[in-house]
Each structure stands twice: as C-alpha cells, then as structure tokens.
Chains A and B, each alone.
Chain A
C-alpha cells in the first residue's frame, strides 16, 4: 500500500510540475502572438482594430483583477502598473489619442507584430514575479473563456 502511495505521489508530482514549468510569461507572450495571428487572418480593418482593442482591454482587465486581489507584493503592483501604462499607450496609438496619430489601416498587421515584439523584449513582464505572472495567465484564461 505504501509503495502504491509513493508511486502515485511521484506520478502526481510529475503532472503538477508541468504547468509550473510552462510559466505565466510564456502564456502572456502567446496571448499577444495569437492576437497578431487573428489580426492578420482578418481582412476588414475595422475588425482588426476591434481584435486589437479587445485584446488590450482583456489583458488590462486581467491585470486589474490580479492587482485588486490583494495577493501580490508592492513590487509586483508597481510592475503591473507599468505593464498597464504600456498597454494604454498602445491603445492610444491604435486609436490616435493623447498625441498619437491613428495607426493607418495598412499598418495594422505590422502594429500587431510590434506589440508582440515589444512585449517579448521589454522588461515589463520580467519585473513581475513568476507567481503573479501565473496568476495573471490564469485570470486571462478565465476571462477569455
């Protein structure tokens, strides 16, 4: 019986280790990459804009929920705020607000790539702890479904 428990425990640990290794950052990167793929698969510029906008808003919503959960540290809260500011700037640029010229219809595909690349290389996400990133990824999945 003890051997069975030990054996089961090992298998369980293997299974539990998988999502932890996958990491929250990877999920967030994948989220923006999927958005870019959807934008490129759409012909209508209005729909492209809607996809990008919805993507930014959903991410901002997830960040708000995690920030308001009271489960995160002061450092992570500051990191989330910087992340939100960066998202807001991209929303402004997309819509042509706060001094930005509106992204033209022809540039929307390139803009979606820019968002992916900027998020991949920026230290915005790096400054947030792995646990908080995982939390954001989980909330994001729940919001999308």
Chain B
C-alpha cells in the first residue's frame, strides 16, 4: 500500500520546490533586465517626425509619489494624490495635439519576493496627444538626483528650431530648503533639498533656456529662498506660500493650450491658472489657501534685499534634526519687520483666503512670501487667537 502511495507523495512534496523554482525564475526575468544600465524604452506609437507638426508646447512634469499622499474629500472618499495628479497630467497630454509632455512619476521602491528590487520610477512621453513611450526606470541614488530623468528628457526632446512655450510642473510634499533626510519613504536616509531640484532644472534647461512657466505644487514653495533657488530656471513661477492641500492645483486649464494659450502670453495665462486653481481649492478646503504668481525677473530686487536675513535664519537652524526642526514655524514675511520693504509686492500676484477656523481666520492679506518665524518670536507665549476673539 505504501509503495503505491509513494509516487503520489513525491508529487506533492515536489510542488513547493516547483513553486519556488518558478518564482525565482520569474524574479530573475524581471530583475535582470532592470539591472541594465541602459534605459530601454517601450514604444507604444511611432515617433512623429513630421516637420509640419512640431510641438509648440513642451511640458515636463515630475510627480513625487514616494511618500504618504493619502487625502480624503469632504464625503470621506480616499484619494492618493500622486495617482490623481498622474491621471490629470495624462489627460493634459492627450488633450494637446501640438505638445510634447514628459511625465516622470517617482514611485516607492518595492521588491518582488522581498529580495528582488523593482523599478522606482515611471516615465511616459506623449507627443501631439499620443503616447509615444512608456518605461519604468531607476531613480538616481546619488547626485544629481534627477540624472536619469534628464537623460530621458534629452533623448526624447523634440529638437525643432521653432520657439515654443515650455513648462515645468513639480508635484510633491514641501521641498526642504536645507538638506534633510526622509523625503522619500523608500529611502529614509537619502538627503533632499531645493538645490537638488535646482540641479535637475539645470539639466532640463541646458539646451532650451529658461522654462516659460514653472508650477511648484508643494506646500511652502513661495519662500524667498525657494523662489530664489528655482527662479533662475523660469520666467514665471506659480507656488503656494502656505500649505497646499493634496488636491493640488486644477490642471484643466493646461488642456487645449493651442486655444487657451494661443496668444503665447504666459504671464497672463499663469494668472488665469492660479485664479482657477484657487477657486477650485476654496470650494472644498477649510484650511488656508494661498497661491502666488511670481514674475521672476521683477522679484529679484526683493530677493536680493532679504537673502542675507533669510540665510541667517537657515544657518541658525543648521544641525537641528527631527522634532526640533519640525517645531520651526512658518509665517507671512510681512509679519517680520526685516522683510517689509517697498519692493516686497513687486512682481507678485497673490490669491489668498485665510483658514476658516483656527488662529488666523482674521488674517485678510498675505504678502505672497512665506518666511520662518524667528526663534525669539516662536518662543514667546502664544497670543490670543486673531480670529474669533471674544
């Protein structure tokens, strides 16, 4: 009896080995090509090299998704902000028959069977409304942080002589002004700062000069330091001086640029974009909403006047880590005497609505510039709330 059952038992015993063998083979198949240094591109449509249809608009979009981007709407539905933005940007790409759109999504590092690393970046390239290439790639672990993104950009960037409108969009959490770890959940020790993004922008603008428009969809992007560091790569910049809720900016205005930006007046378009984004945010957000449009050349005088003070504040905080750094608070630069000067409002258009609750509901204006509250002020006992005071 036992001799009859033995082959059957062997068969059962062999199943786990077979499963492990197949899994290992699958992992190797997935992993080995990903180790290749060359970035192989999966083309989904032939590249349109028709000179009669050169892109008139060029949009580069980086979506940081390697952290917690969960948010809820007012009826409790859950959203993952980077996935929502990706869908919106894809729609923008498809709805622009005369544009090239580069989409880089930085995704969390994952492993197949716990040991085999999978790609942590996803790239899509659209030209004239069609998806031309889609590829998973590795993010650069060293400096420059955006080396692989710049490489892909250089490879696909349409090299036509005709002048075009260029835009750069960045979506993510607040970009630290000083190098700190923890921006990427997958790489907790990896340092990141606004200078890393500036280095990336240097690569993107190497051949084509400054971007006409730079949209920084993060919290606290509208600081003298951040605008000063990223401004040299753009003519017009849109950023939020305060917290920007994860529903980010309304991107619908970027669709059909051939109609909406027919006159190529980017500053006027930027103001319309900011206004529309502002109205969408205030319709559902109870916290503060602030969006500013910066004419980068016109704000230079103010930036030069305040950079020493701002740098000094940052220098004081160098070396602070963890909770002590997180305890530093932002404030409107207009609340700090050192920053109040006649040039403060030059080149800045601000759309602002205070939070509906909390300490600042009576604050009716914002300068468009966010600063750090100095330690002396921060350590003062909290004043009675500005709003709702009895």
Give the distance in Å from the alpha carbon of A101 to the alpha carbon of B357 in the complex: 10
Taking chain B's interface residues, is the majority helix, strand, or loop, or is none over half, making it mixed?
loop
Contact B76 A34 (CB under 8 A): yes
Contact B245 A117 (CB under 8 A): yes
Tell whether A120 pairs with B72 under 8 Å between CB atoms, given A101-B390, A114-B357.
yes
- 0/1 interface trace, chain B 374-390, chain A, CB 8 Å (1 if under): 00000000001101111
Closest to B174 in A: A123
Give the distance in Å from the alpha carbon of A75 to the alpha carbon of B182 in the complex: 14
Tell whether A75 pairs with B13 under 8 Å between CB atoms, given A26-B68, A110-B356.
no
Contact B322 A127 (CB under 8 A): yes
Q: Which of A23-72 contact B (CB under 8 A)?
A: 23, 25-26, 29-30, 33-34, 36-37, 40
Contact A79 B323 (CB under 8 A): yes
Q: Which of A1-42 contact B (CB under 8 A)?
A: 3-4, 6-7, 10, 13, 17, 23, 25-26, 29-30, 33-34, 36-37, 40
Give the distance in Å from the alpha carbon of A26 to the alpha carbon of B69 in the complex: 10
Give the distance in Å from the alpha carbon of A89 to the alpha carbon of B76 in the complex: 23
Which residues of B sit under 8 angstroms from A121, Cβ to Cβ?
219, 243-246, 287
Q: Which of B13, B324, B384, B388 touches A3 (beta carbons < 8 Å)? A: B13
Tell whether A120 pairs with B323 under 8 Å between CB atoms, given A33-B72, A101-B390.
no
Which residues of A sit under 8 angstroms from B359, Cβ to Cβ?
89
Closest to B13 in A: A3
Tell whether A127 pairs with B326 under 8 Å between CB atoms, given A99-B390, A101-B388.
yes
Separation in Å of the A113 CB from the closest CB of chain B? 5
Which residues of B sit under 8 angstroms from A25, Cβ to Cβ?
68, 70
* A105 touches B (CB below 8 Å): no
Contact B70 A79 (CB under 8 A): no
* B32 touches A (CB below 8 Å): no
Q: Which of B70, B114, B286 touches A117 (beta carbons < 8 Å)? A: B286
Give the number of residues in B that approach A within 8 Å (Cβ atoms).
Answer: 41
* B355 touches A (CB below 8 Å): yes
Separation in Å of the A38 CB from the closest CB of chain B? 10
Closest to B19 in A: A7
* B358 touches A (CB below 8 Å): yes
* B116 touches A (CB below 8 Å): no
* B316 touches A (CB below 8 Å): no
Contact A120 B245 (CB under 8 A): yes
Separation in Å of the B24 CB from the closest CB of chain A? 11
Contact B68 A23 (CB under 8 A): yes
Which residues of B sit under 8 angstroms from A36, Cβ to Cβ?
72, 74, 76
Give the distance in Å from the alpha carbon of A114 to the alpha carbon of B355 in the complex: 9
Give the distance in Å from the alpha carbon of A78 to the alpha carbon of B388 in the complex: 28
Q: Which of B25-57 contact A (CB under 8 A)?
A: none
* A139 touches B (CB below 8 Å): no
Q: Which of B75, B323, B384 touches A76 (beta carbons < 8 Å)? A: B323
Which residues of B sit under 8 angstroms from A34, Cβ to Cβ?
76
Q: Which of A111-145 contact B (CB under 8 A)?
A: 111, 113-114, 116-118, 120-124, 126-127
Closest to B71 in A: A120
Give the distance in Å from the alpha carbon of A74 to the alpha carbon of B286 in the complex: 33
Which residues of B sit under 8 angstroms from A7, Cβ to Cβ?
16, 19-20
Separation in Å of the A131 CB from the closest CB of chain B? 12
Q: Which of A76, A100, A114 touches B388 (beta carbons < 8 Å)? A: A100
Give the distance in Å from the alpha carbon of A33 to the alpha carbon of B385 in the complex: 25
Interface centre among A3, A75, A93, A121 (most CB of B within 10 A): A121
* A103 touches B (CB below 8 Å): yes
Contact B385 A100 (CB under 8 A): yes
- 0/1 interface trace, chain A 80-115, chain B, CB 8 Å (1 if under): 001000000100010010111101000100110110
Give the distance in Å from the alpha carbon of A121 to the alpha carbon of B286 in the complex: 12
Give the distance in Å from the alpha carbon of A93 to the alpha carbon of B16 in the complex: 60
Q: Which of B1-22 contact A (CB under 8 A)?
A: 13, 16-17, 19-20
Contact A6 B357 (CB under 8 A): no
* B113 touches A (CB below 8 Å): yes
Give the distance in Å from the alpha carbon of A17 to the alpha carbon of B16 in the complex: 21
- 0/1 interface trace, chain B 345-384, chain A, CB 8 Å (1 if under): 0000000000111110000000000000000000000001
Which residues of B sit under 8 angstroms from A118, Cβ to Cβ?
286-287, 355, 358
B residues near A, CB below 8 A? Answer: 13, 16-17, 19-20, 68, 70-72, 74-76, 78, 113-114, 174, 219, 243-246, 285-287, 321-324, 326-327, 355-359, 384-385, 387-390
**18 residue pairs A–B, Cβ–Cβ below 8 Å:** A25-B70, A26-B68, A26-B70, A33-B78, A36-B76, A82-B326, A93-B357, A93-B385, A99-B389, A100-B385, A101-B388, A101-B389, A113-B74, A117-B285, A120-B71, A121-B245, A124-B326, A127-B327
List 7 tightest A-B contacts by C-beta distance, closest first.
A127-B326, A101-B388, A78-B323, A114-B286, A75-B322, A99-B384, A3-B16
Other A-B contacts than A3-B20, A118-B287, A120-B246, 7 sampled, CB-CB below 8 A, are: A10-B114, A26-B68, A75-B322, A82-B323, A99-B389, A110-B286, A113-B286
